[in-house]
């Protein structure tokens, strides 16, 4: 635990000691504003909620979260610092978890910096704060899910571009599975049980149920087990690479 925290701190400080963090946060906030106000019709809707923002958030995350996760292990490998890190007396779990949690905290900070939107709706109307809090929590879980996938993929390569592209594709598959066009395409010929199983893997469906204001245990279990699975695989990938 202590080692995980030490690694977590080093990583998190690392984000803010390079321009990466500031560029990322600026781009994220700019796009969040653009989506919410221009495409989402924040004012035109005349409703005091953050639906336009949270509806577009998954698309934003699809490209921005892999941008965080792509460097997690690929960069360590390219710089050779992975040899420094993994020959310190720490377990693979501590290394993987420390790096992942730092990336997750960073993504959470970026998401939290959209708080002016919340203030805006609060000033203009009387939003349901419970729904907004649940949505933010859902957003953080969503980002964690994508990050765990991205971290695992980053461990496979020392090329960050490869890690980025592969992560976007895999994350997209996880998002896609509940979109109406995909579902209607599969509907009719695929076994309904299988269809349900596929839908249950959809980030979107779980996220949407959370943004309705209800944090269901099943959604928590989904994100929790998904993150655990990918981080476990991440450690496994690093162990296998050790042997090769």
Contact positions vs other proteins (CB under 8 A): 3, 6-7, 10, 13-14, 17-18, 79-81, 83-84, 86-91, 239, 242-244
Smallest separation, CB 146 to other proteins (Å): 24
The residues, ordered by sequence, that sit 6+ positions from 152 with a Cβ below 8 Å of its Cβ are 230, 231, 233, 234, 237
Q: Which is nearer to other proteins, 184 or 244 (CB)?
A: 244
Smallest separation, CB 99 to other proteins (Å): 12
Smallest separation, CB 222 to other proteins (Å): 33
Smallest separation, CB 156 to other proteins (Å): 17
The answer to whether the beta carbons of residues 100 and 148 sit under 8 Å apart is: yes
The rounded distance, in Å, linking the Cα atoms of 118 and 163 is 34
The answer to whether the beta carbons of residues 94 and 6 sit under 8 Å apart is: no
Smallest separation, CB 98 to other proteins (Å): 10
The rounded distance, in Å, linking the Cα atoms of 59 and 28 is 11
Q: Which is nearer to other proteins, 84 or 124 (CB)?
A: 84
Kindly report the number of other CB atoms within 10 A of residue 93's CB atom: 14
Q: Which is nearer to other proteins, 95 or 163 (CB)?
A: 95
Distances (CA, A) of 192 to 92, 203, 204, 234: 40, 19, 19, 32
Smallest separation, CB 84 to other proteins (Å): 5
Q: Which is nearer to other proteins, 6 or 159 (CB)?
A: 6
Q: Which is nearer to other proteins, 216 or 239 (CB)?
A: 239
Going by the DSSP 8-state scheme, the letter that residue 42 receives in this structure is T
Crossing angle of helices 129-154 and 217-243, in 10° steps, is 20
Q: Which is nearer to other proteins, 205 or 235 (CB)?
A: 235
The rounded distance, in Å, linking the Cα atoms of 162 and 150 is 11
């Amino acid at each position: 635990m202590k080692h995980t925290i030490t690694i977590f701190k080093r990583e998190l400080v690392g984000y803010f000691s390079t321009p990466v963090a500031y560029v990322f946060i600026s781009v994220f906030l700019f796009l969040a504003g653009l989506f919410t106000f221009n495409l989402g019709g924040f004012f035109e809707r005349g409703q005091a909620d953050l639906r336009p923002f949270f509806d577009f958030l998954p698309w934003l995350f699809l490209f921005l979260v892999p941008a965080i996760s792509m460097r997690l292990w690929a960069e360590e490998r390219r710089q050779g610092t992975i040899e420094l890190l993994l020959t310190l007396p720490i377990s693979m779990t501590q290394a993987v978890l420390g790096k992942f949690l730092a990336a997750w905290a960073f993504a959470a900070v970026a998401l939290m910096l959209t708080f002016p939107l919340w203030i805006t709706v609060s000033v203009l109307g009387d939003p349901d704060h419970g729904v907004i809090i649940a949505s933010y929590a859902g957003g953080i879980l969503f980002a964690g899910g994508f990050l765990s996938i991205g971290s695992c993929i980053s461990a496979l390569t020392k090329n960050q571009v490869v890690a980025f592209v592969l992560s976007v594709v895999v994350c997209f598959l996880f998002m896609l599975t509940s979109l109406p066009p995909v579902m209607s395409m599969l509907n009719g010929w695929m076994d309904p049980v299988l269809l349900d199983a596929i839908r249950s893997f959809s980030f979107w469906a779980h996220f949407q149920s959370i943004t309705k204001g209800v944090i269901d245990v099943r959604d928590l279990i989904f994100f929790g087990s998904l993150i655990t699975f990918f981080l476990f695989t991440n450690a496994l990938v690093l162990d296998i690479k050790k042997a090769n």
